[in-house]
Amino acid sequence: MVVPHGGRLVDRVLKGDRRKEALERARVLPKLELSRELAFEVENIATGVFSPLEGFLGREDLESVLDHGRLANDVPWTIPIVLDISEDVAKSIRDELVLCYLGEPVAIMEVEEVYTYDKERMALGVYGTTSEEHPGVLKVKGMKELLVAGKVELLNPVPSPFPKYKLSPKETRVLFELKGWRTVVGFQTRNVPHIGHEYVQKTALTFVDGLFINPVVGRKKPGDFKDEVIIAAYEALMENYYLRDTAVLAVLQMEMRYAGPKEAVHHAIVRKNFGCTHFIVGRDHAGVGNFYPPYAAQEIFEDYPDIGIVPLFFRSFFYCRRCGGVVNEKICPHGEEHKVNFSGTKLRRVLKGEEDAEEVLIRPEVEEVIRSYPEPFVEGG
Amino acid sequence: MKRTKEVKIPLSLYRAIEEKIEGSDFLSVSEFITYAARKALTELGGHGEQLSEEEKEEIRKRLRALGYL
């Protein structure tokens, strides 16, 4: 089984007497209410999804991540996992802080440091831009003025809309072992599957033992598919077109940042922690608009020969009417007039009735499921 | 706090690495050794998995209940 990132799978989930004692202590400690996305981050830290992180980043690690794409100890890490607080909250903080979600305690944080940070530097270091047209930059600019760092210990799991599909890295590692998978390819998605996705997944699966389909659920931008639609669409695809013994579906509760190349590295690290040996990186992975060159998310892996998971790079696939199948530019000699391109944008337009449907774009069972939702898209777009 | 440690390797190996990395992307022997050691650790696998049999059984039950097994 692949070694977790940084060498050890973090497990900071409190159980038994230690949890009871911590819950008792938490009653009198200052509390901080978290957004759903931050509560996810806490849980991801505690369950090892973000190994080797044991808590929110301190200044030294943050600066190293922004400037070098590595933690201060040189371990690859590209996305700052930070907790922002207001000056008022900072004044009330003591050695420990209870992190709550919907009023319930989620974790206890051992406060190590409260510090200021430069939002422009953070935007540039993660997103490569300070343009407010970038949703990630906009989010950074809206963050509170201070960051608080420290280790967290989970008291209670964060409620999930998909409990059936919520697995921790500990669980996926046991699952892969029980299935006898020595090599596993991870697939990140925030979209319903079209035929192009299926082809990429199955091409990768040809060379490894198992496929781990791991859609990100959490805050997305307007116009993206709703989480429940993505899950239902994958259920339909897997039921009809995948072998039960070679593919597994589980959700990753994590916000999309649209940080393109930096986020591709982050996605790979997270899947390594789940036990994947390989990770699929496609065209414009985790991109938004035209902020990143189409293959920047593949090129960045040249800077991380020590990442410990094998990235599998895919160019764009398309359907060629003359070849009569799904192909790519390396293997198809035919002209543009024969091509049907796959794209999430095109799929969205078809489903909105703005473009004619192509039977080769999406499996009928998947389309039927998506169409059963009156409004399959995140509102606002 | 100092974040590095010194290790000893045979001089002949040091020289061979020095020669090999000349003109490559590696800027120093230390950088090469760090890279090679991390790669080796990853390939060795295994460590970091400290689940007890009880814990594994608990996970097995949950996976079965969820329909994964």
pLDDT of A138-190, one tens digit each?
999 999 999 999 999 999 999 999 999 999 999 999 999 999 999 999 999 98
Q: What's the pLDDT score for residue A221? A: 80
Determine contact, residues A337/A306, Cβ cutoff 8 Å: no
- Residue appearing with tokens 């819950």: A23
DSSP one-letter string for A189-249:
ESS---HHHHHHHHHHHTTSSEEEEEEEES---TTSBPHHHHHHHHHHHHHHHS-TTTEEE
Cβ atoms of A168 and A49 within 8 Å: the answer is: yes
pLDDT value at position A248?
97
pLDDT value for B3 = 66
- Residues in chain A within 8 Å Cβ distance of B38: 306, 308
- Chunked into runs of 10 residues, chain A (381 residues) has average pLDDT values of 91 96 95 96 98 98 97 95 96 94 97 98 98 96 98 97 96 96 96 92 97 92 90 97 96 95 98 97 90 95 92 91 90 93 79 74 92 88 48
Q: Residue B64: what pLDDT? A: 96
Classify the complex by whether its ipTM is higher than 0.95, answering yes or no.
no
* Local confidence band at B48 (pLDDT 50, 70, 90 cut-offs): very low
HSE, side-chain direction, 13 A CA sphere, residue A70 = 14
| Token pair 């900072």 in the structure block, residue | A90
Tokens of A126: 């993660």
The predicted pLDDT at position A350 comes to 81
> Which residues of A are catalytic, by number?
190-191
| Token pair recorded at residue A265 | 């590295």
Give a three-class secondary structure readout of chain B: CCCCCCCCCCHHHHHHHHHHHCCCCCCCHHHHHHHHHHHHHHHHCCCCCCCCHHHHHHHHHHHHHHCCC
pLDDT band at B2 (very low <50, low <70, confident <90, very high): low
- Residues in chain A with CB shorter than 8 Å from the CB of B45 are 1-3
Q: Flag if B51 and A175 touch (Cβ within 8 Å).
A: no
Q: Do A174 and B59 touch (CB under 8 A)?
A: yes
Measured in angstroms, the CA of A303 and the nearest CA of chain B are apart by: 10
pTM for this model (two decimals): 0.89
Of A1, A4, A308, the CB nearest to B38: A308
Is A8 within 8 Å of B48 when comparing Cβ atoms? yes
What is the distance between the alpha carbons of residues A265 and A279, in angstroms, rounded to a whole number?
10
Q: Does B36 touch chain A (CB under 8 A)?
A: no
The structure tokens 């489903």 sit at A351
Per-residue model confidence (pLDDT) at position B52: 87
What CA–CA distance (Å, rounded) separates A183 from A167?
19
Mean pLDDT along residues B31-35: 87
Helix/strand/coil for A262: helix
Task: State whether residue A164 sits within 8 Å of chain B by CB.
Answer: yes
**Nearest residue on chain B to A244, alpha-carbon basis:** B68
Q: Verify whether the Cβ–Cβ distance A1 to B34 is below 8 Å.
A: no
Inform me whether the pLDDT recorded for B44 exceeds 70: no
CB atoms < 10 A from the CB of A224, how many?
Answer: 20
- The CA distance from A371 to the nearest CA of chain B, in Å, is 26
Are the beta carbons of A288 and A344 closer than 8 angstroms? no
Identify which of A369, A363, A370 has the alpha carbon closest to the alpha carbon of residue A198: A363
CA distance A373 to A355: 19
What is the band of B31 on the pLDDT scale with cuts at 50, 70, 90? confident
Residue A239 forms contact with B (CB below 8 Å): no
Mean pLDDT in residue range B45-57: 74
Cα(A142)–Cα(A285) distance, rounded to whole angstroms? Answer: 25
